[in-house]
């Protein structure tokens, strides 16, 4: 499978302990990922992906939902790569 690596969580995905999203949830607002290493300002797609990491969805469900919500403006490979990077940075993990 493309886009998967050993650090990528399998099964249901949630934000890792000590990680949270902060900011207004309005469509034009910026969300910030708050983590021990510092705050990370997220673009719209990254924020949408991480908001879905609530322990109720797996990778495939997250990819499908983002593709649907963005009218396929996002590419599945980009979403997978972001999930891999988020896992490697310990932002997300298994629920």
Confidence of residue 28 (pLDDT cuts 50, 70, 90): low
| pLDDT for the residue numbered 6 | 47
Share of the chain above pLDDT 70, in %: 83
Domain range list for the chain: 12-94
3 has pLDDT over 70: no
| pLDDT for the residue numbered 66 | 96
**SS3 readout for 37-54:** CEEEECCHHHHHHHHCCE
CA distance 68 to 57: 15
Q: Quick check: pTM over 0.75? A: yes
Average per-residue pLDDT in the chain?
87
Task: Spell 27-55 as b/e; 16+ CB within 10 A means b.
Answer: eeeebbbebeeeeeebeebbbbbbebbee
- pLDDT tens-digit readout, 39-78: 999 999 999 999 999 999 999 999 999 999 988 788 999 9
CATH topology of domain 12-94: Outer Surface Protein A; domain 3 (3.90.930)
């Amino acid at each position: 499978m493309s886009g998967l690596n050993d650090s990528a969580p399998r099964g249901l995905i949630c934000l890792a302990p000590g990680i949270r999203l902060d900011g207004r949830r309005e469509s034009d607002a910026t969300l910030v990922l708050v983590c021990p290493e510092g705050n990370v300002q997220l673009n719209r797609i990254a924020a949408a992906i991480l908001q879905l990491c609530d322990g109720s969805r797996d990778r495939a469900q997250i990819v499908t939902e983002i593709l649907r919500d963005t009218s396929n403006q996002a590419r599945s490979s980009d979403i997978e790569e972001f999930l891999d990077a988020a896992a490697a940075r310990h932002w997300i993990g298994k629920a």
